[in-house]
């Protein structure tokens, strides 16, 4: 997956410890249940936002990414955890990160 220029409040997890990345992937797996768009989908954490927002690359060969607001509890009932799936990292950047960063910096 290509790298992007990260804008506040987002940061890349490139270079993070494997245990850190695994913690988020495991938490997402705990929170999703059958019927959730990400249930059973392999993922890798690629970015962190403000609070509990996390950006995952979907490791299903599509190039898609998912913005997830983790609740840090056990299994949730869909649509929780709140999730938005984007066609690509660039789509997420354009549709979410840039507008959010503008609001964040105001």
pTM: 0.94
Cβ atoms of 67 and 55 closer than 8 Å: yes
Sequence ranges of the domains in the chain? 11-105
- Find, among 17, 5, 10, the residue nearest to 103 by Cα: 10
Task: Kindly give the confidence (pLDDT) of every residue in the chain, 106 residues in length, as a single tens digit, with 9 standing for 90 and above.
Answer: 456 789 999 999 999 999 999 999 999 999 999 999 999 999 999 999 999 999 999 999 999 999 999 999 999 999 999 999 999 999 999 999 999 998 888 7
């Amino acid at each position: 997956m290509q790298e992007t220029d990260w804008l506040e409040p987002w940061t890349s997890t490139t270079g993070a410890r494997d245990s850190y990345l695994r913690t988020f992937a495991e938490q997402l797996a705990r929170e999703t249940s059958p019927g959730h768009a990400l249930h059973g989908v392999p993922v890798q954490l690629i970015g962190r936002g403000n609070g509990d927002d996390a950006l995952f690359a979907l490791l299903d060969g599509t190039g898609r990414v998912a913005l997830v607001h983790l609740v840090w509890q056990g299994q949730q009932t869909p649509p929780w955890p709140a999730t938005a799936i984007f066609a690509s990292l660039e789509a997420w950047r354009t549709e979410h990160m840039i507008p959010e960063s503008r609001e964040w910096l105001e």
